Amino acid sequence: MNGPSPNLSWSELACHDGTPYPEEWRSTRLVLLAGLFEDFRLVMGDRPLIIGSAYRTPKWNRRYGGAIKSQHLEGCALDIRRPSKQEVQKFCQKAKAFANNDERVGGLGWYSWGVHIDIRPRKNNRLAYWNRIRPGTRLHDSDIRNA
């Protein structure tokens, strides 16, 4: 196996600056994150999904414009791009239904390119949720090409 789970590779988990996913987290938080990804992939049609970002070093996170307390810094998040032929609203709605029904998901963000999903602890048993897609926006493949 080329990663921690059948459909998640070490290269997808590494920071874009080349830093590998930290060894000290591989037997703890990564086990949970990889299992979540595999279940998410099944719900989304058991087809390949593209990981846009996973682990980030602090320097890369600043360069990328990530949140100061980003879950990516903790190795607890995945940005998952939607399959190119799937309308973003449908992809995000399926992701939200999955997140609402899986207590491993602590945070879910919708974007034009797909979703951010993470395993942060839920506060008061509530999912952290945000939507960066304007209501009524109909997005097409050309809208996510460079996202």
- Mean pLDDT for 39-62 is 96
**Residue, of 84 and 47, whose pLDDT is higher:** 47
pLDDT of 139 reads 47
Residue ranges of the domains in the chain? Answer: 10-144
In angstroms, the CA 5 to CA 33 distance is 10
For domain 10-144, which architecture applies? Answer: 2-Layer Sandwich (3.30)
Report whether 117 contacts 77 (CB < 8 A). yes
pLDDT of 89 reads 82
Per-residue model confidence as pLDDT tens digits over 4-32? 999 999 999 999 999 999 999 999 999 99
Tally of CB atoms within 10 A around 143: 14
Per-residue model confidence as pLDDT tens digits over 97-132? 999 999 999 999 999 889 999 999 999 999 999 998
pLDDT of 84 reads 74
Report whether 98 contacts 105 (CB < 8 A). yes
